[in-house]
Structure formats: structure tokens, C-alpha cells
Chain A
Amino acid sequence: MATTVTTSTDGKTWGGGNEPMGVSYGKMMMWFFIVSDALTFSGFLAAYGFSRFKFIETWPVADEVFTHFPFMHGVSAPMYYVALMTFILIFSSVTMVLAVDAGHQMNKNKVILYMFLTIIGGLIFVGSQAWEWKNFIKGEYGAIETKGGSILQFVKNDANHSRVALADFAANIPTERVQDTRSKGIWFFDEPAIPTYTVEQITEGFKAHPDVLVRTEVIDPTTKHKTILTREESLKRMETAHYVVEGANLTRNEYGSKLFADFFFFITGFHGFHVFSGVLINILIFFNVLLGTYERRGSYEMVEKVGLYWHFVDLVWVFVFTFFYLV
């Protein structure tokens, strides 16, 4: 137990038991890890900033992308869901710090309760993130990719330019193209899922619906909204239609810049992985608390150490929240 309890008080620097900067070995190592991991996340977020500044005029606007809220289908609710996730994570940080506090008072039952609540909070957060990913991958409206690689979205020609889904105007043209599968005799290769509509169905449907306009990726600096083309410009732009995009994957996404989805998956995924590992570590410590390990050891410092990691995960989320959803 030498690593957790230090009783030497003789004050000799080299006599053993001296703790550099007044912090125990285990906590010091946790801080080392946190500093290096914080720099890793900073690198990711700075790389996100790099790509965003590089495509500053065409980067997707976050509150047009993340608009879902559970049980409110079709209602545009930007930000509320991630705000809720932020609260869940901050709250689980609070229960964690309450567990640490109870540990200082050697109150085993309280530590058990608060550790349990922390684990539940972490699981809810990971679940919420999975739901967020599901919506992001599935997409809602669909878009057209041009030959040049930019994304065209569709809006109604009315006062508030509400979004139009591909299904609302796609022409019903028979197509012979079907998804190739191994069961259809093509056993030697797989193909990625083909879009629901062909480019022809969309372009013909677009011509047949005069109330639909094209919205480009370009942000109009005077309104800070995406530019909406006139009907004539829209028709001209649709001539370069090249591919139908539905939802998001690592290659292309219907929200705009390809890098946007890549960074979204990578950074929130890496953070979600941290939360997941944090939950696992918390569960281990939770069982140790249940078994009375720290009661016998005479110190709940291990709870404090996993607590540091858990707060760090919360800390990272605060920054991810700002740079992905707010700024």
C-alpha cells in the first residue's frame, strides 16, 4: 500500500516518502496522462479548426445539421439535444466528485451510491452519442454532389426556405440498377450501398417541380446563411449533378464539406471511446468499493484518481461542444 498511503513526516527530501509537488505517485501519473491526452485532443480540435478555416466560406452550419430531439420527429430543434448531453456529463462529474468527497469521509455507502450514479450518467451519455451518430449517418433530406465535389441541397421557394427532401420531388423513372449482392451471383466483390434515387430521377424531378430551389454550400457573408440560387441558376447548377448523397459516411455526406463528417466521426468517436473506457474503469472501481478494498486500504484515493480521468472526459466534451456545435 506504499503507493497510496504515505506517513513519512520527517521532511527529508531523499529519505523516501517525499512527494514531489505534494501529490502522490498515482495522482501524479494520472495528471501526466491527462496532460498528454489533453494535447492529443487539442491537436484534433486544432486540425478541425485548420480544415474549417481552409474552407471557411463553405463549412456546414452546425445548427442546420444537428436538429434532432428524441420523440420530436420532424421538429427542428438545434442544440437542445447536445445541451442535454452536456448536462448529463456535467452531472455525472458532480456525482463523481461527490463520491470522492464521500471517500474522504470514509463513507463507503455514499461512495457506492455516487459511483453508481456516475456510471449510469456515463452510459446515458454514450447512448445519446450513439443516437446522435445514427441520425447523422442516416441523414434527413439528402443532397446532390456535383462533378466538382460540392454539395447541393434543396429548399422550397417560400418565405423561410424550408428544406425539401429528395423523396419529395424525385421523378418516378424506372431504373434497372439494383444493388449487387453476393446472393445475386457476384460473389467476388461487394459494392457500397447505392442511393435510393438515381441522378436522373433527381434532375428530372427537379425540372418538374418549379417551387424547388438549390441551396449551395457557400455562406453569404451578409446573412451568414447558405446561399440560395434563383430558379434559373438552380437549373444551370443541376446540370453538373453527379451523385446522389444520402446521410453521411467517411467518403461523402449530405451536409457539405467531406472533412466535416470525417472530423465529426473522428473527434466525437474518440471522445465517446474515452467515455466508454471511463465507464469500464468506473465499474472496476465500483466493484472494488463494493468489496471493501479501499475500506481495508484505509484510503479511497483510487476513487479520486479515476475521478480525475472522468472529469477530464467532461472537460474535453465542453470543448467539443463549443467547437462542433456553437462556434
Chain B
Amino acid sequence: MSHDHAHESNVGRIWKVFFVLSAITIVEVFLGITKPHGLHFTNVLGMNLLNWIFIILTIAKAYGIMWAFMHLEGEKAALRWSIVGPLVFLIIYLIFILLVEADYIFGVFKNSTIKWNF
């Protein structure tokens, strides 16, 4: 009840966000089914462009859900940062160490005498 505009209706904005989220999902599904060759086979920073697009669109959707639906846009900056800061930092850190380690293990399986498929 701390928002200054607690009693005015946000219905218009809610529907707008819904349509944006739906549009992003449709684009994702379209790309996922067609898999354009130029995106799927172009690698940028160790991953193909198509996967980068999926991940960026997903983060855009997450932003829409957290800011509009979970109403972070109406909260104080201190609360927003306390929530988003630790999550972003810890998730990036976790993904970094796990994927680097997994890539190393992949190399061990591939290049040494240990074989996955006998």
C-alpha cells in the first residue's frame, strides 16, 4: 500500500505488457521452429546467435514480469536492488563456474582415453 497511485487502475498497462510478452513468446516459438540457418550456425562468444536471441528475449520477458506484474517498478530503488542485485550476481557466477567446469570435463571425455561410447 506504499505506492502513491494505489487507487488508480493499471488495467491498460497490464494488457499492454501481456501483449508484449505474448509477442516475444510467438517470436521465440517461430525462431525455434524455423531455426534460420544464418542465426543457428553463426557463433558469437562460444554460442550460436539463435541461442543468444532466445536468452536475451527470455531476460526481456523476465523483466516484463518482474517490473510490471510483480510491480517492482513501483517499489523503492533500495528494494529493487536488494532483489535483483544478488540474483543477477549469484546466477551469473554460478553459471560461469559450472559451464566452464562442464566444458573442461567434456574435453577430458573427448580427448583422453576415457570414452563415453565404447
- Cβ < 8 Å to A, chain B residues 7-49: 7, 9-11, 14-15, 18, 21-22, 25-26, 28-29, 32-33, 40-41
A93, B76: Cα distance in complex, Å: 23
Main secondary structure of the interface of B (DSSP, over half): helix
- Cβ < 8 Å to B, chain A residues 160-193: none
Query: B116 to A58, Cβ gap below 8 A?
Result: yes
Enumerate chain B residues within 8 angstroms of A46, measured Cβ to Cβ: 91, 94-95, 98-99
Enumerate chain B residues within 8 angstroms of A321, measured Cβ to Cβ: 58
A118, B14: Cα distance in complex, Å: 15
A301, B74: Cα distance in complex, Å: 15
Interface assignment of A108: CB less than 8 Å from any CB of chain B: no
- Cβ < 8 Å to A, chain B residues 32-88: 32-33, 40-41, 51, 54-55, 58, 61-62, 65-66, 68-71, 75-76, 78-79, 82-83, 86-87
Interface assignment of B117: CB less than 8 Å from any CB of chain A: yes
Query: A308 to B70, Cβ gap below 8 A?
Result: yes
Interface assignment of A5: CB less than 8 Å from any CB of chain B: yes
Interface string of B87-118 (1 = CB under 8 A from A): 10011001100110111011001100001111
Beyond A31-B83, A35-B86, whether A54 also contacts B106 by CB under 8 A is: yes
Beyond A21-B76, A42-B90, A46-B95, whether A53 also contacts B9 by CB under 8 A is: no
- Cβ < 8 Å to B, chain A residues 279-327: 299, 301, 307-308, 311-312, 314-315, 318-319, 321-322, 325-327
Number of interface residues of B (CB under 8 A): 57
Query: A150 to B70, Cβ gap below 8 A?
Result: no
A87, B90: Cα distance in complex, Å: 29
Q: Which of B7, B66, B86, B98 has the most CB of A within 10 A?
A: B98
Contact of A326 among B2, B28, B94, B116 (CB under 8 A): B28
**Number of residue pairs spanning A and B whose beta carbons lie under 8 angstroms apart:** 160
User: In whole Å, how far is A205's beta carbon from the nearest beta carbon of chain B?
Assistant: 23
User: In whole Å, how far is B113's beta carbon from the nearest beta carbon of chain A?
Assistant: 14
A49, B99: Cα distance in complex, Å: 7
Beyond A90-B22, A318-B62, whether A224 also contacts B118 by CB under 8 A is: no
Query: B87 to A38, Cβ gap below 8 A?
Result: yes
Main secondary structure of the interface of A (DSSP, over half): helix
Identify the stretch in A98-106, A128-136, A267-275 within 8 Å (CB) of chain B at 4 or more residues.
A98-106
Enumerate chain A residues within 8 angstroms of B90, measured Cβ to Cβ: 39, 42
Enumerate chain A residues within 8 angstroms of B102, measured Cβ to Cβ: 49-54
Query: For residue B90, which residue of chain A has the nearest CB?
Result: A39
A90, B41: Cα distance in complex, Å: 31
User: In whole Å, how far is A301's beta carbon from the nearest beta carbon of chain B?
Assistant: 6
Query: B87 to A325, Cβ gap below 8 A?
Result: no
Query: A47 to B98, Cβ gap below 8 A?
Result: yes
Enumerate chain B residues within 8 angstroms of A322, measured Cβ to Cβ: 28, 54-55, 58
Query: A23 to B75, Cβ gap below 8 A?
Result: yes
Query: B94 to A42, Cβ gap below 8 A?
Result: yes
Q: Which of A53, A105, A149 has the most CB of B within 10 A?
A: A53
Query: A299 to B1, Cβ gap below 8 A?
Result: yes
Interface assignment of A261: CB less than 8 Å from any CB of chain B: no
User: In whole Å, how far is B19's beta carbon from the nearest beta carbon of chain A?
Assistant: 10
Beyond A42-B91, A49-B99, A311-B69, whether A21 also contacts B82 by CB under 8 A is: yes
- Cβ < 8 Å to B, chain A residues 87-122: 87, 90-91, 93-94, 96-98, 100-101, 104-105
Known: A101-B9, A101-B11. 11 other contacts (CB 8 A): A21-B75, A22-B78, A42-B91, A46-B98, A52-B102, A57-B110, A63-B32, A86-B25, A148-B117, A322-B28, A326-B28
A residues apposed to B, CB below 8 Å: 5-6, 19, 21-24, 31, 34-35, 38-39, 42-43, 46-47, 49-58, 63, 78-80, 83, 86-87, 90-91, 93-94, 96-98, 100-101, 104-105, 146-150, 217, 224, 240, 299, 301, 307-308, 311-312, 314-315, 318-319, 321-322, 325-327
Q: Which 9 A-B pairs have the closest CB atoms?
A: A148-B118, A53-B102, A21-B79, A322-B58, A50-B98, A50-B102, A83-B29, A54-B102, A311-B69
